Amino acid sequence: MIEKLIEIAKEAGKETLKYYNNNVKIEYKDDKSPLTEADLASHKKIVNFLKDLTPNIPIISEEGSIPEYNIRKKWMKYWLIDPLDGTKEFIKRNGEYTINIALIIENKPVIGVIYVPVKDVLYYSEKGKGSFKIENGKEVRIFANKVKNNDPLTVVESRSHPSKELEEFLKTINVKKRVQTGSSLKFCLVAEGKADIYPRFGPTMEWDTGAGDCIFRYATKNNENNSTIKYNKENLKNENFVIVNY
């Protein structure tokens, strides 16, 4: 299964790169967030692949129609995808956008794949097997740092979504360094030990977090890292969260 998902994440990434260096058409959704042709092309590629691979598993995609909760609440298993996470970063052409695919079982992510098309870097995880990074043809297992109270912390934060709540929170911890990056890469930096903590006080949706949350949860030598993010809620908007391995 993982090999197939890695393949489709890379194929979807190739689709987005067709638009990356061109004058891409930009539209805006009702919530003012941008939407490009690349988002839609990646969505179509991933959804068609998953329908062929697992025709009986339903799909939630940011760019697809969302079934009513009275239907979704009965699901034991479903795909949760963000076909192009970090559209603002895509438009800025800073390379910090990702392809996110997660499998949710009993409202918990058990498989996650994140691909960074511009850098050709891929992260993946599977419950019971751990989290991994593939870069320059080499695959390594990754682990989140274990944090203790009062440790000086490297904080990863959103490049495009600052907040007053974040600034207030940072006053309560020992901050060593602040790193800004886009998309689900923030989860990945914590999962591979390049950052210690990712506090998020701005709006996110479940498809923004599913794959990254999965990679963080299983970036550990045993059991799994704790996460407060819930899935398949009636309202798919996430509450504020802090990703850290205490």
Of the candidates 116, 142, 168, which is a domain's last residue? Answer: 142
Residue ranges making up the domain that contains 52: 2-142
Segment holding 84, helix H or strand E = strand 77-85
Query: Same domain for 179 and 82?
Result: no
- Does 147 fall in a domain? no
Q: How many domains does one find in the chain?
A: 2
**pLDDT value of residue 25:** 83
Fill in the amino acid letter for 201.
F
State the Cα–Cα distance between residues 101 and 37, nearest whole angstrom.
19
The enclosing domain of 109 has a CATH number of 3.30.540.10
Q: What is the mean pLDDT of residues 84-89?
A: 94
Smallest Cα–Cα separation from 143: which of 159, 123, 158?
Answer: 123
HSE toward the beta carbon, residue 70, CA cutoff 13 A: 0
Query: Same domain for 177 and 97?
Result: no
Q: What is the mean pLDDT of the chain?
A: 95
Give 202's pLDDT tier (boundaries 50, 70, 90). confident
Of the candidates 118, 142, 166, which is a domain's last residue? Answer: 142
CB atoms within 10 A of CB 94: 14
Smallest Cα–Cα separation from 80: which of 201, 238, 193?
Answer: 238
**pLDDT value of residue 159:** 83
Q: What is the pLDDT of residues 181-193, one digit of tens each?
A: 999 999 999 999 9
**pLDDT value of residue 113:** 98
Query: Same domain for 83 and 110?
Result: yes
Query: Same domain for 210 and 96?
Result: no
Kindly tell me if the per-residue pLDDT of 161 is higher than 90.
Answer: no
State the Cα–Cα distance between residues 4 and 7, nearest whole angstrom.
5
